[in-house]
Structure 1
Amino acid sequence: MQLEIVVDDAEGLALAAAGGADRIELCAALALGALTPSAGLMRLAADCGVPVHAMIRPRAGDFRFSPADLAIALDDIRAARAAGLAGVVIGVSAPDGRLDAVALARQTDAAGPMEVTLHRCFDVTPDAAQALETAVALGVTRIMTAGHAPCAVDGAGELAALVRQSAGRVQVMAGGGVVPAHVPALASCGVDAVHASCSVPRPVTGPLGSLRIAPERPRADAALIAALRKAVNAAAAAGAFLARQTD
Structure 2
Amino acid sequence: MLEVCVEEGAGIAAAVQGGGDRMELCAGLSVGGLTPSASLIRLAAAAPIPTLMLARPRDGDFRYDTQEAALIAQDITDAAEAGLAGVVIGASNDAGGLDVSLLQQWVAHARQEGEKRGRTLSLTLHRAFDLCADPLAAMEQAITLGFDRILTSGCQPRAIDGVETLGKLVRQADGRIIILAGGGVDAASVPALLAAGVREIHASCRAPLEAAGDAERRFGFQNGPRLRTNAEKVAQLRSLLPV
TM-score by length of 1: 0.90
Gaps of 5+ in 2: 112-119
The question of 1:8 aligning with 2:11 is answered no
- Residue 167 of structure 1: aligned partner: 174
SS of the equivalent of 2:189 reads helix
Same amino acid, percent of matched pairs:
44
Any residues of structure 2 matched to 1:1-247 within 5 Å, and which? 2-112=1-111, 113-203=120-210, 208=216, 210-215=218-223, 216-232=225-241, 236=242
Alpha-carbon distance in structure 1 between the residues aligned to 2:71 and 2:135: 28
Alpha-carbon distance in structure 1 between the residues aligned to 2:5 and 2:193: 18
Alpha-carbon distance in structure 2 between the residues aligned to 1:210 and 1:197: 28
Which whole-Å deviations, capped at 9, do the CAs of 1:128-187 have from their partners, x for residues lacking one?
111001100110000011111121111111111101111111000111111112111111
Is the contact between residue 55 and residue 89 of structure 1 (CA under 8 Å) also seen in structure 2?
A: yes
Is the contact between residue 93 and residue 100 of structure 1 (CA under 8 Å) also seen in structure 2?
A: yes
Is the contact between residue 20 and residue 235 of structure 2 (CA under 8 Å) also seen in structure 1?
A: no
Alpha-carbon distance in structure 2 between the residues aligned to 1:230 and 1:30: 24
Taking a change above 3 Å as real, the CA distance of residues 28 and 98 of structure 1, as seen in their structure-2 partners, is same
Taking a change above 3 Å as real, the CA distance of residues 208 and 149 of structure 1, as seen in their structure-2 partners, is closer
- C-alpha displacement at 1:12, in angstroms? 0.0
Q: Partner amino acid for 1:229?
A: R
- C-alpha displacement at 1:201, in angstroms? 2.9
Alpha-carbon distance in structure 2 between the residues aligned to 1:149 and 1:209: 31
Is the contact between residue 31 and residue 218 of structure 1 (CA under 8 Å) also seen in structure 2?
A: no
Alpha-carbon distance in structure 1 between the residues aligned to 2:3 and 2:55: 17
Alpha-carbon distance in structure 1 between the residues aligned to 2:240 and 2:199: 14
Q: Partner amino acid for 1:226?
A: A
- Residue 243 of structure 1: aligned partner: none
Count of residues in Structure 1 that have an aligned counterpart in Structure 2: 233
Which whole-Å deviations, capped at 9, do the CAs of 1:93-133 have from their partners, x for residues lacking one?
00111000111111112222200001111110011111001
Alpha-carbon distance in structure 2 between the residues aligned to 1:201 and 1:29: 15
SS of the equivalent of 1:98 reads coil
Q: Partner amino acid for 2:176?
A: R
- C-alpha displacement at 1:209, in angstroms? 7.7
Alpha-carbon distance in structure 2 between the residues aligned to 1:92 and 1:193: 22
Is the contact between residue 39 and residue 80 of structure 1 (CA under 8 Å) also seen in structure 2?
A: no
Gaps of 5+ in 1: 238-247
Q: Bigger CA drift: 144-153 or 67-76?
A: 144-153
Is the contact between residue 2 and residue 20 of structure 2 (CA under 8 Å) also seen in structure 1?
A: yes
TM-score by length of 2: 0.92
- C-alpha displacement at 1:63, in angstroms? 0.8
